[in-house]
Amino acid sequence: MGRLLVIGCGGVAGVAIHKCCQNSKTFSELCIASRTKEKCDALKQKLEGTTKTRITTAQVDADKVEELIALIKSYQPDAVLNVALPYQDLTIMDACLACKVDYIDTANYEPEDTEDPKWRAIYEKRCKEAGFTAYFDYSWQWAYQDRFKEAGITALLGSGFDPGVTSVFTAYAQKHYFDEISYIDILDCNGGDHGYPFATNFNPEINLREVSAKGSYWENGRWVETEPMEIKREYDFPQVGKKDMYLLHHEEIESLAKNVPGVKRIRFFMTFGQSYLTHMKCLENVGMLSTSPVLHDGKEIVPIQFLKTLLPDPATLGPRTVGKTNIGCIFTGKKDGKEKTIFIYNVCDHQECYKEVGSQAISYTTGVPAMIGAALIVNKVWDKAGVFNVEEFDPDPFMEMLNAYGLPWVVEENPATVD
């Protein structure tokens, strides 16, 4: 019996909240709080009568620590699930710390304004020292380790699919299949089609920033950076078929490099169709992906935010998207002195997700593990004081809940590998 405060009410939150309501034994009470309260009220109305979970709603600007503290103090949750944007990670962590409440999120911190000189100075130092130029990294949140430990509370970072399930797959492979893992390839394939010439499957600003950035991978103890989309491979995904995929920088590489002893290489690939890439390049070339304000007719606008206004809301793609996703990890390493390779993956069908919770599979595959992470924290199955990534806990209860809550997984021995 627990009480959860969910912050954010977009695509991922919608699924996470549906799933919490399916698990009302754990989440007897839930408060949905976001910037736009009408969205929270609409979701509450949709779910009431279908669940035993008691739902309330609230308005909050999660950029403001004081507002968050006031909300947490008045609602008294057992944990806070952050499914707003990565921009709000630090303010929400600050509020959890002030109120001594556990914290869960699905994406690591990145700043909204990448031109902010204070942030930029730290970022540029990190680029030089660490060797990768992505705007997001874990250093900001890992810096809370001592404070969370002293307060006796948990921060669970990255409890989505990737990061999240891919990290749990890694912990599971390490626990049950290998003495040592040498190579990890994380493959994220979306074989879905929404019928629009161009749309993103989750928040456009976050998605386009990630995809248009330089790629990078971890090899022999250091980062190797590539040009955007420089490394391309083809893979024949079970239940989806052959797709082109491209190497990207991705946040779980950073934590897995730290948490998988002896790992030699970690790469992340995501599939994209040619039309998506051509549209993105064109938008980038004309400056529409810029996060820096420009003057338009005497008014300041941020190009990528204006683009977000023009693009379809990812939360509305559900009814139109057909096809499947296949996301998982290929591990190569040694067990009892013998080399072996396994592929652990989940296949998710966009239309099945829509039938169940009214969302496409990208929000679904993120929202389900967000609920699972929150449930394991609220039930104290995962219980350590400090700041942790999901692979630092026992993977077994998480893997069981994936099967029970709509994301069944497969372990394939001797799969095709990526060169």
| Selected binder of ligand NDP within 2, 3, 4, 10 (CB under 6 A) | 10
Are 318 and 332 in contact, with CB atoms under 8 Å apart? no
CA within 13 Å, CB half, 120 = 6
- Give the whole-angstrom CA distance, residue 340 versus residue 320: 40
Least CB distance from residue 263 to ligand NDP, whole Å?
20
Q: How far is CA 415 from CA 53, 179, 185, 332, 345, in A?
A: 42, 19, 12, 10, 11
Contacts with 121 (C-beta within 8 Å, 6 or more apart), sequence order: none
Closest by alpha carbon to 57, among 1, 15, 7? 7
Taking CB under 6 A as the rule, does residue 108 contact ligand NDP?
Answer: no
Q: Interface with ligand NDP includes 84 (CB under 6 A)? A: yes
Q: Does 111 bind ligand NDP (CB under 6 A)?
A: no
- Rounded-to-integer distance, Cα 202 and Cα 198, Å: 13
Q: Does 160 bind ligand NDP (CB under 6 A)?
A: yes
The nearer residue to ligand NDP, 202 or 331, going by C-beta atoms, is: 202
Tell me which H or E stretch contains 321.
none
Among 2, 6, 11, 173, binds ligand NDP (CB under 6 A): 11
Q: Which amino acid is at 405?
A: Y
Ramachandran class of 320: left when φ > 0, alpha when ψ lies in -120 to 50, beta otherwise: alpha
Q: Tell whether residue 190 is a contact of ligand NDP (CB under 6 A).
A: no
Closest to ligand NDP by CB, 8 vs 395, is: 8
Q: Considering only residues 206, 229, 283, 377, which one is a binding residue for ligand NDP as defined by CB under 6 A?
A: 206
Closest by CA to 269, choosing from 236, 232, 222, 218, is 232
Contact between 318 and ligand NDP by CB under 6 A: the answer reads: no
- Which residue of 26, 34, 190, 216 would you call a contact of ligand NDP, by CB under 6 A? 34
35 binds ligand NDP (CB under 6 A): yes
CB of 335 to ligand NDP, least distance (A): 29
Using CB under 6 A as the binding rule, whether residue 12 contacts ligand NDP is answered as: yes
**Contact set for ligand NDP, span 46-65 (CB under 6 A):** 60-63
- If the CB atoms of residues 27 and 202 are measured against ligand NDP, the closer one turns out to be 202
Q: Encode 149-182 in three state secondary structure.
A: HHHCCEEEECCECCCEHHHHHHHHHHHHCCCEEE
Among 83, 101, 187, 270, binds ligand NDP (CB under 6 A): 83
391 binds ligand NDP (CB under 6 A): no
**Looking up tokens 């002293």, which residue turns up?**
150
Give me the least distance between CB of 297 and ligand NDP, in Å please.
24
Q: If residue 64 lies in a helix (H) or strand (E), which one and from where to where? A: none
**Binding residue count for ligand NDP, defined by CB under 6 A:** 32
Q: Nearest Cα to 105, choosing from 327, 389, 295?
A: 389
- By CB under 6 A, tell whether 314 contacts ligand NDP: yes
Q: Does the protein bind ligand NDP through residue 192 (CB under 6 A)?
A: no
- By CB under 6 A, residue 315 contacts ligand NDP: yes
State phi, psi for 412 to the nearest 5 degrees: -110, 125
Residues 243-302 that bind ligand NDP (CB under 6 A): none
Using a 10 angstrom Cβ sphere, with 0-12 exposed, 13-18 middle and 19 or more buried, the burial of residue 356 is: middle
Of 57 and 333, the one with the shorter C-beta distance to ligand NDP is 57
Spell out the alpha helix ranges (H) of 263-418. 274-285, 303-310, 350-357, 361-378, 395-404
* Interhelix angle 65-75/89-99, nearest 10 degrees: 50
Residue 30 to residue 317: CA distance in whole angstroms: 26
Shortest reach from residue 134's CB to ligand NDP, in Å: 13
Among 72, 79, 107, 283, binds ligand NDP (CB under 6 A): 107
Minimum gap (Å) between residue 107 Cβ and ligand NDP? 3
Helix (H, G, I), strand (E, B) or coil at 323: coil
Rounded to an integer, what distance in angstroms lies between the CA atom of residue 78 and that of residue 104?
A: 11
Residue 162 found at the interface with ligand NDP (CB under 6 A): yes
Under the binding rule (CB under 6 A), the answer on residue 170 touching ligand NDP is no
> For ligand NDP, which is the closer residue by CB, 178 or 268?
268
Q: Is 151 or 189 the residue whose CB approaches ligand NDP more closely?
A: 189
Using CB under 6 A, pick the residue from 8, 77, 191, 215 that binds ligand NDP: 8
Residues near ligand NDP, by CB under 6 A: 8-13, 34-36, 39, 60-63, 83-86, 88, 106-107, 160-164, 202-203, 206, 314-315, 366
